[in-house]
Structure 1
């Protein structure tokens, strides 16, 4: 991307955000995605390339950090058992159930092996905290329910990366699947990321308290968001969980020290950064769609989208029956909202691009089916979450 293209993305984003001030009926990220698809037919944008490193290293740390920093601590304390369960065991069950449904439904018609179905499921299982933060809370009056879905989304990215890494390794015949080694790797990557975030969050929150200049406090928060992520990734643990934990840790320390003025100033900065990052990311995601999708298999993409909803609904229903603070605080019909709010987006695209970089021209079917299901999810679920929540 060159400077002219980036400025044009920000300009387009500014116009869309300004027009859609309420951001309720037509979610802004979806509009940005659609604009990006339209721009893909203009030669000026043909050289724009989106890579998984761009998502993971440029965009995701900022979006995750602001989501974690803004997440209500009272709701984290109230619902953390649900967050942990849904983003770990729950997500693994969803992935394997989803893979089984894809295999038995489409395996014969598309010559998909169960392993290929599992790759698709691993890519599509994570829900998108970016989409949830910027769509769900703007389109529903169920704040507690939105917080549960957001909390699940914030933490399940760590699980999704571990699951995808193991599945992709099996797909490439580089290693076999061993349940014990999988959970060992999962615990190492996840707990290592959380520990990194705790350390960074604690140290840099103290530095922020020590500094008196607001500009320097903002600089330190940037270092915290990106430095924690890159450090964790350097040591082979979850940068996603490190950034989320660091954001929560900073928020906790600010609350404990009663630094409301500092909190508000940092919030103002990150709230200004957020729409800029979103504008660039979702427009470029739209530009990438045309390169990856094969419309001849549109019917299979639709089937996969429906199967993703079915598998998530089943596991959420079981979770609702077994997790006390979900059963006690929400209605049974709220499970349907949670299912529909599980939008696919940024993390799924990042995993898809990781897979594409490893298997370019070898797994075009998988890549096309996955990107098609992601686009359907973002458009259909995002546009319909508001009226669905009003009817529940």
Structure 2
């Protein structure tokens, strides 16, 4: 299919499923669209024999979509920039120690915990996956997704500091997680193609170049756009400049082997804070916020639609699904550990509410980036399918179950804190 044909079908499906969700189910939009697309996929697969033409057409359509390319080289740049645009830099700096530890050390710790547990558990289901490939799986499932959780946190009345912790960590650990994944993938393929990495020195060099260079490039992009916006007062042109920043900036980062996700986060933070305060008129701020909010909502709708439709390209087996279900517990346990350690390390210097680790654990949703990274594993790798199926099972559980139950969990935390003390709810 041509790009415009694909885009037309995806937008129509996202609009129809979104409408059905608003009228019938009234779930958070992205979660509702994903669940409806997943339900439609299941029904088409169940009735494949009775209605062969429709499932076959759907199968061909989904197979024509390169999910990894669509997300990692297309939508992700817009989503991360839009997400960072609305993060208050002052609030983020107040939580910088917690966010930086969870987004770096937390991702690495989770990678090894999930990888080690997977190496021990997968043979019980008949899958002899080498340790290095278990680490690759751990690296792709460890980054959390800021998309589904933001709206839920806001409607739950979550403390601002808690919202900042989860949002900031999610924005930055996407970039860190991709770098860790690429490093481990390079070791796993053992020098095949362009991924060959020979040792620890190469990993450190890759991390410093991609992560450090990506953040520096994002700063340069944000600074350049800031001076351009400051010199004019035309909201149409200013929005166009931010669009150019995202498209060209992300593409150049990829060409130079820098972390495009981290570049977009830093550029978005600069535009949303320094640029918003000193380079935009009130009219420009209003139009810019509306534009990027729409871009964010539309792309999120399409992304979660694609997650549900990806069921068509999976070679599902009972053992792989069962392994994925068991690994849900492993991933949650690793997340709990990865959030507990920073809290314990920093507890002497700052106050944390008793339920913060529980909310950080349950609020660490996995999403499209994990599926995209799993699909990036070369098809020639024999362990690819079990990794992909396990990833998909965990992502569906994370979005559907954790996403839908996070709001009452946060509301319960806020309520219990308010009951314990007469003064306003303390910072989390």
* TM score, norm. by length of structure 1: 0.91
Is contact 1:130–1:346 with CA below 8 Å preserved after alignment?
no
Q: Look up the SS of the partner of 2:376 in the other structure.
A: helix
Is contact 2:118–2:134 with CA below 8 Å preserved after alignment?
yes
Counterpart among 295, 304, 327 of residue 327 in structure 2 = 304
User: How many residues are treated as equivalent by the alignment?
Assistant: 387
1:115 aligns with 132
2:158 aligns with 141
Comparing 290-299 with 75-84, greater Cα deviation is found at 290-299
Is contact 2:35–2:308 with CA below 8 Å preserved after alignment?
yes
Counterpart among 250, 254, 273 of residue 295 in structure 2 = 273
Is contact 2:230–2:279 with CA below 8 Å preserved after alignment?
no
1:92 aligns with 108
- Alpha-carbon distance change, 113 to 361 in structure 1, aligned in 2, over 3 angstroms: closer
Counterpart among 311, 336, 342 of residue 364 in structure 2 = 342
5+ residue gaps, structure 2: 45-53, 414-428
Distance 2:386 2:175 in 1: 26
1:184 aligns with 205
Shift of residue 286 of structure 1? Answer: 1.0
* TM score, norm. by length of structure 2: 0.84
Shift of residue 363 of structure 1? Answer: 2.3
Q: Deviation per CA, 1:136-156, whole angstroms, max 9, x where unpaired?
A: 333452332121011001001
RMSD (CA atoms)? 2.3
- Alpha-carbon distance change, 224 to 334 in structure 1, aligned in 2, over 3 angstroms: same
Shift of residue 45 of structure 1? Answer: 3.4
2:19 aligns with 15
2:312 aligns with 290
Shift of residue 19 of structure 1? Answer: 4.3
Structure number with bigger Rg: 2
Counterpart among 150, 162, 176 of residue 159 in structure 1 = 176
Counterpart among 2, 5, 27 of residue 9 in structure 2 = 5
Task: Tell me if 1:57 matches 2:73.
Answer: yes
- Alpha-carbon distance change, 281 to 173 in structure 1, aligned in 2, over 3 angstroms: same
2:275 aligns with 254
Using CA pairs under 8 Å that are at least 6 residues apart, name the structure with larger relative contact order, 1 or 2. Answer: 1
- Alpha-carbon distance change, 98 to 362 in structure 1, aligned in 2, over 3 angstroms: closer
Task: Tell me if 1:380 matches 2:404.
Answer: no
